[in-house]
C-alpha cells in the first residue's frame, strides 16, 4: 500500500492485526501495534486495535502481557470499551483471580462503561466455580438490578457450578426459575442437570427430567 502511495490507516492495520491474532501470532501483532504507535498519530491504534491484541493474548494465556498492554493503552489516552474490560475480566475469572476481576468491574463502572451480559456471566461463573455462592448471588442481583437480562448461558453456568459441588437440588431450582422467566432450557441445560442427578444417585429425578425433556420437545443427544 505504501509503495503505491496509499497510506494505511488504523482500520487497515486492525484488519492485519486480526489476521495475525487468528493465526496465533501474537508477538507479530504486538510488533505491528508498536509500529502504529510510532506512526506519529497518522494511524495511531484505536480501541479496536488494542482490544483485538489484548483479547488474543488472553486467549493464549498471556495474561501479564495483556494487562501490560491494557495499561499502555490507557496511558496512550485510548478509552477501553465493554469488550476490552469483558475480555480481561473473563480471563481473570478463569485464573480464579476474583478480587482482581471485581476490581476491573468496579473500574469499568466508574469509567462509565456499562457491563453487559457476558461481563456478569464471567464473574458469576468464576465465583460459582469456587463455591462462593454469596458473591455469585450478589453479582446476579446486581446484574438484574441494572436491567441486564440473564440468558440461557448465564443460567446454565450457574447450574453447572451447583452440580459440580453436589448441589443438584439448588441447580434444579435455577432450572425451574429459568423456565418460569421465559428462558427455554436447551439440551445443554438438561445434560448438566442429568449429570448432577447422576452423580448424587437421584435416578427417579433423572427419569422425571427425561420425561420433561420429551414433553418440551427437546431431543436428547448422545
186-202 average pLDDT score: 92
Structurally, the chain folds into a number of domains equal to 2
Helix (H, G, I), strand (E, B) or coil at 182: coil
Q: What pLDDT score does 43 carry?
A: 77
Q: % helix / strand / coil in the chain, to the nearest 5? A: 70, 0, 30
Domain that holds residue 11: 1-79
195-217 average pLDDT score: 92
Q: Is residue 174 part of a domain?
A: yes
CB 73 within 8 A of CB 106: no
| CA–CA distance, 166 with 171 (Å, rounded to integer) | 9
Q: What is the mean pLDDT of the chain?
A: 88
Q: Is residue 70 part of a domain?
A: yes
Q: Is the pLDDT of residue 192 over 70?
A: yes
Angle at 129 between CA 165 and CA 156, to 5 degrees: 85
Q: What pLDDT score does 157 carry?
A: 82
Neighbours of 44 (CB within 10 A): 17
Angle at 132 between CA 129 and CA 137, to 5 degrees: 100
Q: Is residue 116 part of a domain?
A: no
Q: Is residue 176 part of a domain?
A: yes
Q: Is residue 84 part of a domain?
A: no
Q: Which residue, 64, 79, 94, sits at the end of a domain?
A: 79
| Residue that wins the pLDDT comparison between 216 and 2 | 216
Q: Which residue, 59, 79, 99, sits at the end of a domain?
A: 79
In the chain, how many H helices and how many E strands? 12, 0
Q: Is residue 119 part of a domain?
A: no
| The model's pTM | 0.77
| CA–CA distance, 26 with 30 (Å, rounded to integer) | 6
Residue pLDDT, tens place only, 161-176: 888 888 899 889 888 8
132-140 average pLDDT score: 88
Residue in this structure with the C-alpha cell 486492525, named with its chain if needed: 14
Q: Is residue 164 part of a domain?
A: yes
Q: Which residue, 62, 79, 96, sits at the end of a domain?
A: 79
Max Cα distance, the chain (Å): 73
Among 150, 97, 96, 95, which Cα is nearest to 119's?
A: 150
Q: Is the pLDDT of residue 121 over 80?
A: yes
Q: What pLDDT score does 39 carry?
A: 66
All three cell numbers of 17? 492485526
Q: What pLDDT score does 42 carry?
A: 60
Q: Is the pLDDT of residue 40 over 60?
A: no
Q: Is residue 109 part of a domain?
A: no
Could you tell me what percent of the chain has a pLDDT over 90?
A: 36
| CA–CA distance, 12 with 19 (Å, rounded to integer) | 11
Could you tell me what percent of the chain has a pLDDT over 70?
A: 98
All three cell numbers of 9? 490507516
Amino acid at each position: 500500500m505504501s509503495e503505491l502511495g496509499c497510506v494505511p490507516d488504523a482500520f487497515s492495520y486492525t484488519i492485519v492485526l486480526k489476521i495475525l491474532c487468528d493465526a496465533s501470532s501474537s508477538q507479530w501483532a504486538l510488533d505491528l501495534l508498536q509500529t502504529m504507535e510510532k506512526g506519529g498519530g497518522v494511524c495511531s491504534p484505536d480501541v479496536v486495535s488494542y482490544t483485538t491484541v489484548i483479547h488474543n493474548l488472553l486467549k493464549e494465556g498471556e495474561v501479564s502481557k495483556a494487562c501490560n498492554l491494557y495499561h499502555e493503552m490507557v496511558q496512550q489516552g485510548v478509552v477501553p470499551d465493554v469488550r476490552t474490560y469483558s475480555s480481561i475480566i473473563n480471563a481473570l475469572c478463569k485464573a480464579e483471580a476474583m478480587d482482581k476481576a471485581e476490581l476491573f468491574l468496579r473500574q469499568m463502572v466508574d469509567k462509565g462503561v456499562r457491563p453487559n451480559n457476558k461481563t456478569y456471566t464471567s464473574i458469576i461463573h468464576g465465583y460459582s466455580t469456587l463455591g462462593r455462592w454469596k458473591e455469585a448471588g450478589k453479582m446476579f442481583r446486581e446484574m438484574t438490578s441494572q436491567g441486564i437480562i440473564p440468558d440461557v448461558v448465564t443460567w446454565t453456568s450457574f447450574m453447572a457450578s451447583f452440580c459440580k459441588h453436589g448441589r443438584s437440588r439448588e441447580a434444579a431450582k435455577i432450572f425451574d426459575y429459568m423456565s418460569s422467566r421465559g428462558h427455554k432450557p436447551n439440551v445443554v441445560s438438561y445434560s448438566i442437570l442429568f449429570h448432577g442427578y447422576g452423580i448424587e444417585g437421584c435416578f427417579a429425578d433423572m427419569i422425571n427430567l427425561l420425561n420433561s425433556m420429551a414433553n418440551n420437545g427437546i431431543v436428547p443427544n448422545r
